[in-house]
Amino acid sequence: MINKVVASPEAALADVPDGATIMIGGFGNAGMPSALIDALIAQGARDLTVVNNNAGNADAGLAALIAAKRVRKVLCSFPRQADSWHFDKLYRAGEIELELVPQGTLAERIRAAGAGIGAFFTPTAYGTKLAEGKETRRIGDRDYVLEHPIHADFALIKADRADRWGNLTYRMSARNFAPIMASAAKCSVVQVREIVELGGIDPEAVVTPGIFVKRVVKVAATLRKAA
């Protein structure tokens, strides 16, 4: 019997090694897998490369992982925010590396990894600083930049409902990067609000099929109001 349900966030992340590349879902707080990030902080892995749209907000979640100096490098599109003080401080001190990626290129590089694509040409960033040193090509009447996939060892994502096969649904704009990250990582770990029986999710409504999911953990709903 397939059962991807794991007892706790701690059990789900026990084997994360130092130096791992970890995708973390979420766009700001929407879709951020806070319980999994807290468990990763407790677990102790360091020298991590983190892929997220941002570089942490305020003091919790990804910001706490960065503040704990466990992250060597961040790949993201938008690190600088009013409340990204932990990242800002380490970046200015030269203690954390940043690879800045346009948001659509970040998404497509993640998607490409999950889809087995070797590289792709995108018009985004052509002629800008973010394309410096990259191969370019004129195709038809447009110029493109060659971009490579981003693979990860683990993806930590938040979904709404799961079954024991790992089929997932999401809630509103909390979906964002989660489905593509689930496909791009060797081991995707999902925190969910509810685990239902097989068949409890309408097959037409499954957003991420279980083939992309390795581990599922139910965590108490921590839905907070947006700031």
Partner 1 sequence: MKKLDRNQMAARVARDIPEGAYVNLGIGLPTLVADFLPKGREIILHSENGVLGLGPKPAPGQEDEDMTNAGKEPVTLLTGGSFFHHADSFAMIRGRHLDFAVLGAFQVSVAGDLANWHTGGADAIPAVGGAMDLAVGAKKVLVMMEHLTKQGESKIVERCTYPLTGARCVDRIYTDLAVIDVKPDGLHVVETVEGLSFEELQRLSGVPLKRLATAA
Distance, CA of 58 to CA of 46 (rounded, Å): 21
Whose tokens are 């993640």? That residue is: 110
Taking CB atoms within 8 Å and a gap of at least 24, the contacts of 195-204 are 195/5, 195/161, 195/162, 195/163, 195/164, 196/161, 196/162, 196/163, 197/163, 198/163, 198/164, 198/165, 199/163, 200/161, 200/163, 201/161, 201/163, 201/167, 201/169
Find the part of the chain contacting partner 1 (CB under 8 A) among 1-9, 11-19, 39-47, 92-100. Answer: 92-100
Residue type, 215: R
Contact of 164 with 216, CB cutoff 8 Å: yes
Stretch that binds partner 1, among 4-12, 27-35, 58-66, 197-205 (CB under 8 A): 27-35
**129 vs 199, which CB is nearer to partner 1?**
129
Which of 105, 167, 188, 191 binds partner 1 (CB under 8 A)? It is 105
Neighbouring residues of 44: CB distance < 8 A, sequence distance ≥ 6: none
Q: Residue 147 forms beta bridges with which residues?
A: 120
* Contact status: 212 vs partner 1 (CB under 8 A): no
Number of residues this chain uses to bind partner 1 (CB under 8 A): 52
According to DSSP, residue 107 is labeled: H
User: CB of residue 165 vs partner 1: minimum separation in angstroms?
Assistant: 20
Structure tokens at 200: 């409890």
Among 49, 64, 91, 189, binds partner 1 (CB under 8 A): 91
Check if the beta carbon of residue 61 is closer than 8 Å to that of residue 39: no
Q: Out of 3, 8, 136, 173, which residue is the one contacting partner 1 (CB under 8 A)?
A: 173
61 binds partner 1 (CB under 8 A): no
User: What is the nearest approach in angstroms of partner 1 to the Cβ of residue 68?
Assistant: 20
140 makes contact with partner 1 (CB under 8 A): no
User: Rule CB under 8 A: is residue 121 a binding residue for partner 1?
Assistant: no
Min dist CB 13 to partner 1, Å, is: 23
Options 58-66, 77-85, 147-155, 194-202: segment touching partner 1 (CB under 8 A): 77-85
Decide: is 178 part of the binding site for partner 1 (CB under 8 A): yes
User: Residue 67's CB: how many other CB atoms inside 10 A?
Assistant: 18
Report d(CA 126, CA 102) in Å as an integer: 11
Q: Which region among 24-32, 58-66, 197-205, 209-217 touches partner 1 (by CB under 8 A)?
A: 24-32
- Contacts with partner 1 by CB under 8 A lie at 27-31, 53, 77-81, 87-88, 91-92, 98, 100-108, 110-111, 122-130, 170-180, 207, 223-226
